[in-house]
């Protein structure tokens, strides 16, 4: 390994005595620079090439590459290799992350506008999914989410008011997931359904697209580590700027 490569992985910018950064994270940042300098769909070096270039183990390479895949910066094609993802599209992995986390992973700035913040009685659907009695007070938030100022998603969220008492009085939360975590109900897992749809005229205006524009409707019920349903969300994503990326495997026949 050359001295230049050593400096690339060692230049974490940490002061003496600071906790050593894991090798896979240092490699991830080095590879991210490589990704940023590449065009969409350019191939990345193979695992063996990365091991040699950065003088790291195969495990380190795989952890760094897996993390970049989770962040939507790269994608894999079985039998062909690993490639740079199209930066014009926000890729959502199957890991439970918030909208803001997805956007920050792409080095974009998340923001939003609160359209509605209210207390509502649980209807039949929300009562079923949140495991509460119909009529139970819920907090309902409707938000327009943006990335670098561009509309990306219309989001409706319902959660039991008992989880976040006083939220309506405090006003718009900076991060709903952070609020839940502070309340001892940190999101841990979720079941979600993704389907294709078309936006109506009102939704089109908010998302800055023509009416009947294709979109992805994502319905999600989120649970904490104790299995409690803490959130039901229905999100409408622009299909031209958002996709869902996941890995599937074929079960071997015995």
Tens digits of residue pLDDT in 184-231: 999 988 888 989 999 999 999 999 988 998 899 999 999 999 999 999
Average pLDDT value for residue range 50-71: 88
Write out the DSSP string of 209-243: S-TT-EEEEEEEEEEETT--EEEEEEEEEETTTEE
- Which range (26-30, 104-108, 159-163) has the least confidence? 104-108
Closest CA to 125 of 115, 114, 140: 140
- Cα 121 from chain centroid? 29
Contacts 24+ apart (CB under 8 A), 136-141: 136/160, 137/161, 137/162, 139/164, 139/167, 139/168, 140/116, 141/114, 141/116, 141/117, 141/176
Domain 3-84 has CATH 3.50.50.60: no
Q: What was the pLDDT predicted at 98?
A: 66
Domain ranges of the chain: 3-84, 108-240
In whole numbers, what is the pLDDT of the chain averaged over residues? 83
The whole-angstrom separation of Cα 234 and Cα 111 is 18
Banded pLDDT at 158 (limits 50, 70, 90): very high
Answer whether residue 83 shows pLDDT above 90.
Answer: no
Answer whether residue 53 shows pLDDT above 80.
Answer: yes
CATH class of 108-240: alpha beta
């Amino acid at each position: 390994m050359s001295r230049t490569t050593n400096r690339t992985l060692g230049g974490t910018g940490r002061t003496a005595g600071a906790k050593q950064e894991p090798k896979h994270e240092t490699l991830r940042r080095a590879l991210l620079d490589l990704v940023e300098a590449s065009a969409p769909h350019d191939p990345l070096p193979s695992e063996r090439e990365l091991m040699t270039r950065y003088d790291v183990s195969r495990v380190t390479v795989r952890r760094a590459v897996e993390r970049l895949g989770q962040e939507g910066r790269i994608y894999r094609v079985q039998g062909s290799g690993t490639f740079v993802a199209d930066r014009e599209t926000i890729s959502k992995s199957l890991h439970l992350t918030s909208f803001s986390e997805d956007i920050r992973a792409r080095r974009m700035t998340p923001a939003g506008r609160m359209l509605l913040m209210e207390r509502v009685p649980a209807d039949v659907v929300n009562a079923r999914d949140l495991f509460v009695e119909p009529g139970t007070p819920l907090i309902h938030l409707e938000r327009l989410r943006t990335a670098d100022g561009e509309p990306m998603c219309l989001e409706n969220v319902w959660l039991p008011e008992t989880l976040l008492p006083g939220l309506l009085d405090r006003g718009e939360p900076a991060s709903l997931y952070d609020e839940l975590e502070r309340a001892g109900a940190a999101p841990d897992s979720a079941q979600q359904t993704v389907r294709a749809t078309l936006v109506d005229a009102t939704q089109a205006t908010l998302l800055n697209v023509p009416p009947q524009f294709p979109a992805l409707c994502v319905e999600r019920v989120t649970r904490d580590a104790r299995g409690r349903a803490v959130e039901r969300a229905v999100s409408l994503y622009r299909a031209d700027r958002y996709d869902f990326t996941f890995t599937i495997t074929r079960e071997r026949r015995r």
